[in-house]
Amino acid sequence: QVQLVESGGGLVQAGGSLGLSCLASGLISSTNEMGWYRQAPGKGRELVAAIRHRSDPYYADSLKGRFTISRDNHKNTLYLQMNSLEPEDTALYSCALQNGVAGWPPRYDYWGPGTQVTVSS
C-alpha cells in the first residue's frame, strides 16, 4: 500500500514563501505521476501542479511563475515551492500519486492527508 505524508504547511504573511514536501512510501517507481491539489473551505478541489511522465510539468494558470513543482526520485519525495503567496492561496494542500496508466487529466490512486497553508493579509 502506498502512503503519502505532506509537511511544510503553516502560517505565512502575504508575499512570503513556503516549501511543501510529500514523502511517499511503498512500491513506487519514477514513472508514477504525482501532483499537488488544494482545497479551500466551500470550494472545489483544484489541481495546483503536476509532474507528468511524457510532458512538461503542469501548473494552474494563476500560479505560473510563483509555484514550482519538483521531485527527488531517490528520496521518493515530491516538493512544491510556493513564492509570493497571497491570501487566496490559503487552502489544504494534498499530494497525490497515480499508480495506473498515465494520462491527462490525471486520475490519482493515492492521496495524502494534506497540510494546511494559511496566508495572512
| Residue 53 predicted with pLDDT over 90 | no
Q: Is the pLDDT score of 102 beyond 80?
A: no
E strands, the chain, in order: 3-7, 10-13, 18-25, 34-39, 46-51, 58-59, 67-72, 77-82, 91-97, 110-111, 115-120
Rounded-to-10 torsion of CA 16, 65, 19, 47: 120
Percent over 70 (pLDDT), the chain: 100
Q: Residue 23 pLDDT more than 90?
A: yes
Q: Is residue 98 within 8 Å of residue 25, measured between CB atoms?
A: no
Please count the other Cβ atoms lying within 10 Å of the Cβ belonging to residue 81: 15
From 18-22, 53-57, 67-71, 108-112, the region with the lowest mean pLDDT: 53-57
Residue 29 pLDDT > 90, yes or no? no
